Amino acid sequence: MKVSELRNKNSEELAKELMELRKEQFNLRMQQATGQLSRPDQVGKVRRNIARIKTVLNEQKAGEQ
């Protein structure tokens, strides 16, 4: 996921994608806790994507003000 792609989306699309990523993050944490996580690198990737989306949302919010 690239930041340029995120900047082209509106805040509703970003919020929807953020919720999906948070659900995925929760599922990965549960898999990790039970020892079923096959790809541990996914946890970091999801965290970074969440941070990217939150950054773009904050930029859009600052731009409106």
Q: Helices marked H in the chain — which ranges? A: 3-7, 11-34, 41-64
Is residue 53 within 8 A of residue 17, CB to CB? The reply is yes
- Structural domain including 44 reads 3-64
Residue, of 1 and 55, whose pLDDT is higher:
55
pLDDT band for 1, please (50, 70, 90 cuts): confident
Note the pLDDT tens digit of each residue in 13-61: 999 999 999 999 999 999 999 999 999 999 999 999 999 999 999 999 9
Q: By three-state DSSP, how is residue 3 classified? A: helix
Question: What's the residue count for the chain?
Answer: 65
- Total number of domains in the chain: 1
